[in-house]
Structure 1
Amino acid sequence: MLGVLSWKNVWRNKLRSIVVMIAVMLGVFAGVFLIAFSKGMVDGRIQSIIQTEISHIQIHKPGFQVNNDFSLRMNHIDSIMHVVIDTKHVVAASKRIVISSLVASAETNTGVKIIGIIPSEEKKVTNIHDKIIAGSYFASPERNEVVIGLKLAEKLKVKLHNKIIITLQDVNMNITSGAFRIIGIYQTDNNMFDESTLFVRYSDICRLTGLDGTSAHEIAIILDNNKNTHTVMQQLKAKLPGLNIQDWTQISPEAGYLVSAMNQYLMIFMLVILLALCFGIVNTMLMVVLERVKEIGMLMAVGMSKAKIFFMIMLETVYLSTTGGIAGILIGFILCKHLGKVGLNLYFWKDVYASVGYSSLIYPKIDLQMGIVIAILVIITGILASLYPAYKALKLNPAEATRTD
């Protein structure tokens, strides 16, 4: 009965109630959309790190990642590869030679990281071959071919089929160099990666440096599911003692921190929105109480308990906030689910996003659990917003209130 009465009271002033509900709806919708947008942007960055730059797990000789020391190579690399491939949840692995080098064109030169790969292996681990915007990804059997990033090509002022000179250190610690023809140009979502990383064949880099093809600096591993990363890493540590085995959160700690902190940051933002809405609802309900001083006094005079008065005001407030909040959640949920399939292309800010490693094509991500949490927060907001107006109603003196005009 009290619930029905409270619901009818909400609609006694339809315009005011609708305005409050719309305000709550817009605030909650904005929060839901921003949460979904941010989660989608971060998930896109994580996918880029795993599929393009790092992979799920990497294996190195201890100390290699400190300064990319050329001498810190893993020997008997094929045996290690067999152990890795035979591990449960491992989909593919790629051995690499990784060298810090100087690359020069006819115009200029710059420092880069050269990654010597076996293309057939690398295709199963990274998606660089899908990022080719000009030329091909080692389609021909010719020697000394190189695939470089678009930003590096622009920096060196070179084009497809031009030659560049790669200068590096060989196995005898002597400086050696070789001419490589550009047969492919790729573009990822990370300008810094594109500007600093180029790919050559494993066999070409072995021949240039004097390696015998039985060693590598790095093994990149892709798994069937990111959730299995920790399990596989522990298994590999047990199978390959003496090697440094790290997952992508350890290799790129800022990305790992971003994931762990994202939910907390987003919930804090949502709480700020709800707090702002709470003040608006409190103000509205105070006006409601002041307008109904005589009515509330009469209810008290005829025997309605203060507890019922309190719960009546509280229910009215909860109805206002919940109706608008649920509408905002539903609209946000439907829109985000749609955009999660088709994507939101912020093409005009593509360069801005790429400068910090993010894609301009965002797929907002929202799940049912997040919607339920927000709905609960909206209800709590309504309850908290009702406390002060309800308290003011309880402080009324029935005798004085009934004489109020």
Structure 2
Amino acid sequence: MDFEYTERSKSLQEKLKAFMGEYILPVEQEVYAFHSHPENRWKRWPGLEALKEKARGAGLWNLFLPKDYGELSPGLTNLEYAPLAEIMGRVLWSSEVFNCSAPDTGNMEVLAKYGNLKQQQQWLQPLMKGEIRSAFLMTEPQVASSDATNIETSITLEGDEYVINGQKWWSSGGMDPHCKLAIVMGKTDFDAPRHQQQSMVLVPMNTSGVKIIRPLSVFGYYDSPEGHAEIELNNVRVPKENLLLGEGRGFEIAQGRLGPGRIHHCMRLIGMAQRSVELMSQRASERFAFGKTFKDFSSIRQEIARSQCEVEQARLLTLSAADKMDRAGNKEAKDLIAMIKIVAPNMALKVIDRAIQIYGGKGVGPDTPLAHYFGVARMLRLADGPDEVHLYQLGKSVIKKYSGE
């Protein structure tokens, strides 16, 4: 692949860095402090909408969509978008400012790729405009959802309606006061072949029978205001026109959704890790112990050098996956996608941990993003498929390739 970014991507990177420096970093701690108060946990920071308007006016809007969907999308490739996701990943809440935050990105891609015209007009357009937010309901508490064929939520056709019953959790986006839509994965036919039992259906959050049981924290962080919800679906009725693509196509949609999302997650992780290298370098230049500056200890230099090597390795692997997706499609890129999903979270955890160690007590407190980074990186070893699933499938693929089977 050609590792030189396109001129369009380079121009957007410069604009995005300038925007982050002028508008995001100066209020980074203010936003975290606002959401740290329990009474504000599920409220939106008052300055968010103004920042979103500035981003849209600057042409930094819906950058993630890999195809051109009109004036609301620049139509970047995965390779062009990847470094932009890295820049946004440096501040955990910043992606929403550019309408590039999960799970909305994945849900918009689902609606754009699999939704019909009516579904796109009703839900995709408001999402692309940033007028509403959404949730994705797949994982369930009673089954090992790392195997998505295990899910038990039922989607039963009764006349002109689908009736949905089940319980979901880790439903990202479900707590946001602007969350108006959930994409729900369940089973329409429990007796069909294993990968044809599942379907996806659009469920407005105000539908009778949709009940938020509780928000779920990740290592004590609630990721306010979108959060992660546990949700009960009790005889939820929606028109049969709310089904996506067709009965038995849910697993297919899920696979199409998760490929680009894994690229986004990995590049954001690289952004966290790169900023961690920068923070530990700054700390090493400022602190003294035993008569020397931290940066003059060989062990500190080695930790920083090793960290930068690992960040760059993960970055190049992720760009390689993005390039393969653009040129050959998600299916052909599946091995590289599995590799980055294994490599990036584990790399980020090691680098962030070193930064915390160099920072000392300050590293585990609220005055740096490091502790929150660590929680997010650890969670991402599970989200969009745990390490073990990707290792299992990748190992199978590699063995097949080299054993002649």
| Larger fraction in helix | 1
TM-score, structure 2 length as denominator?
Answer: 0.26
| Larger fraction in strand | 1
TM-score, structure 1 length as denominator?
Answer: 0.26
Larger Rg: 1
